[in-house]
Structure 1
């Protein structure tokens, strides 16, 4: 028998006991025919002056924030700039950390009918080339350098190998790019069934696969997940997840937007810097990943197991400190197993 946490509007947080392998779908919350641009427009219409995005930045004076109304205005400008270079339906990649420009590109591509290809800023030159080639990306937005990786040099080295890649735009040129669109540029009609994102798998058993996600899927997924956390409109939602992953770009960005929450988006994950205090002086901050320090302060020894490879428990001192015991002179036959300690 399995037990999980029910996430619906009628009994949020109540345990749901699963006694059979097939459980009927929870239809208490409908799947809406929504798009990325549609969710943004609804938020801007309902809460134009509500804060929708906060970027704490990386240093003093680098904090930036946008209201929902400002987010829509900025995203529409980005969409027009994109359509001056690319056609609706084409694939455009973003290779950068969690900058606010990343989020504006996410929303702008949704309004422009372009397909976002999010890429891990930690990937190497060969991985970048594979993803751009396999996704048939016609455009790339990138940062020149990230954590010691010469990203601009790698992009330049790959250009001749990528005939589909028409434009590679450094985010250092963002201010020039965002005002390059024509005010007369019409934004296309986007359908909920249109592709919105190509998400690459981890590739642990082979080359990464590009999974095509449509607008209906990612907008509803983000809404369902963040709503299940009990996040209310106007509350701060801290998103520590990377934007190249669906946990960041779908659950974090689109989920917070659908729930009208203030998305607090750190540029990079810095556990030693204390991200939470940077959120501001709001009454509450919701975030989907419990801090390790919180888990360590409440150890659950009753559910812990002792793992042994020599059929004998390690000394208590070694278990507590995570130290390896001295190897035996005569190795015992292999027989790895995990067992619970006796009460």
Structure 2
């Protein structure tokens, strides 16, 4: 089939698993009852926990039994906790109970927490006692109209034994809702993204399939559980493999390197900040680097330099994933056997069973092959809706059922997708559209640059000027001139940054994306340090 426009029909191989999260756990426990399923640390005392598949299913069914005594089928139950082993156990228990798990960021302050609970209409909150220096119990006790249950009060959220009647009534409909995720918006209140069993299971299944992760793999997951990258790919991904999830409670590069060695892991889930920190730590580690088979992740632009470094150091195939929460969360992935240029310069091809089109952001028409436009997708993994927000849902999902991502990209005739920016982040200089990722990739290829964020700043003459905010290894004299020369060799003149700043650390969202709106605020207030 020869494509002339930027529309990619869905591949249909392999078949999509049509089962619930709970049914998949039941199947794996029957197949591999004694295989390690989950490794982590316990809430409260940090004691190590290792559960086989049979033990994990028993724990989850006991949680399901307790939850059915607290709420009815289809009702929300909120979970507010860091990466303790109870998190995935409750995730599975909620799925088996047929309730909707509301995944909450443990750093939320009281107003943010009250908004999420009120918006989701959750009347039960399962919460940790603390997350780092955050006293979660003190806040939870002040919430009106909510039954707050500490994870330390085990008997209230986990029954002594599973109820046979609850087990017999475990959900079987993969189209039913199972999880509510809140987007980390930059303006206004976050939206509640309602996801179904089919979305979570299918994305985990097909992501593991196209990335060729090994059956039975030991998978290290240092990503925050409240986000789909962790509770779907990092948790249900190992389940799909019949493998082991090793959950990291608090990321620190040295201890995670130790963990990779000790558990003989073959898969690592990452965001660029995590992978960069591990590469930096390995540089000063006397031991040989842990040997991995697969390193998969994304969340923001992953530079070719970082991909190459991770492959050289860990010996792994580095998989670049792209998507968003509304897509549960993966839309495309590179493959281990892709050509080098595709691995370094694209975010791969769509997962099976999803259609992709690229449209003109103004008129909504599908653009020619290779032309940039807004990335849209239609398939099993897209959200049911934005909860209680039909207007926002209608603005995001068009009349043909395609979800508009707000990301810009270009599709080639083979189905490979190249990202070109975000609709909201395009820099418009004298009528020219400039996409930050291209410039960021050029900047991080320079040996002195450890990280780069490019954004537009207001300018009376040009509309916007290009600004680069850098994290550098050493701000040596003359570095700015050196970087300008570096860019001149690789970029058109209008793309070369006019303003240069350095920071010690980037402001990040909870999912490790750079908050460019915050950088713009700091630049406007004169709080960013200029690179001389």
Structure 2 CA distance for partners of 1:338 and 1:69, relative to 1, 3 Å: farther
TM-score by length of 2: 0.52
How much has 1:251 moved relative to structure 2?
1.0
Answer yes or no: is 1:170 the counterpart of 2:150.
yes
Answer yes or no: is 1:231 the counterpart of 2:213.
yes
How much has 1:91 moved relative to structure 2?
0.1
How much has 1:177 moved relative to structure 2?
3.7
How much has 1:285 moved relative to structure 2?
2.2
Report which of the two has the higher share of strand: 2
How much has 1:28 moved relative to structure 2?
1.3
Answer yes or no: is 1:264 the counterpart of 2:411.
no
Answer yes or no: is 1:25 the counterpart of 2:5.
no
2:474 aligns with 321
How much has 1:270 moved relative to structure 2?
2.0
1:156 aligns with 141
* Secondary structure in 1 matching 2:152: helix
Match of 1:211 among 166, 184, 193: 193
> Partners of 1:326 and 1:225 in 2: how far apart?
41
Pick which of 261-270 and 104-113 moved more. Answer: 261-270
1:41 aligns with 26
Q: Which runs of 5+ in 2 are unaligned?
A: 280-305, 311-343, 345-440, 447-453, 458-470, 491-532
Which whole-Å deviations, capped at 9, do the CAs of 1:58-116 have from their partners, x for residues lacking one?
99982211111111111111111111222111100000001111111100000000100
Match of 2:256 among 259, 275, 285: 275
2:47 aligns with 62
- On the 8 A contact 2:41/2:84 being kept in 1, the answer is no
- On the 8 A contact 1:84/1:182 being kept in 2, the answer is no
How much has 1:321 moved relative to structure 2?
2.1
1:121 aligns with 106
CA RMSD of aligned residues (A): 3.5
Q: Which runs of 5+ in 1 are unaligned?
A: 1-17, 310-317, 328-336
Answer yes or no: is 1:245 the counterpart of 2:227.
yes
How much has 1:287 moved relative to structure 2?
1.0
How much has 1:147 moved relative to structure 2?
1.9
- On the 8 A contact 2:234/2:269 being kept in 1, the answer is no
1:84 aligns with 69
TM-score by length of 1: 0.78
How much has 1:240 moved relative to structure 2?
1.2
Match of 1:183 among 148, 152, 163: 163
2:498 aligns with none
- On the 8 A contact 1:231/1:261 being kept in 2, the answer is no
Which whole-Å deviations, capped at 9, do the CAs of 1:128-173 have from their partners, x for residues lacking one?
00000000002110012222222112112222xxx3x3x2100111
Pick which of 115-124 and 259-268 moved more. Answer: 259-268
> Partners of 1:59 and 1:147 in 2: how far apart?
11
* Secondary structure in 1 matching 2:13: coil
Which structure 2 residues correspond to residues 102-141 of structure 1 after superposition, within 5 A? 102-141=87-126
> Partners of 2:67 and 2:487 in 1: how far apart?
58
Pick which of 227-236 and 44-53 moved more. Answer: 227-236
- On the 8 A contact 1:40/1:257 being kept in 2, the answer is yes
Number of residues of Structure 1 aligned to a counterpart in Structure 2: 304
Which whole-Å deviations, capped at 9, do the CAs of 1:200-235 have from their partners, x for residues lacking one?
111212210101100011111112223333222221
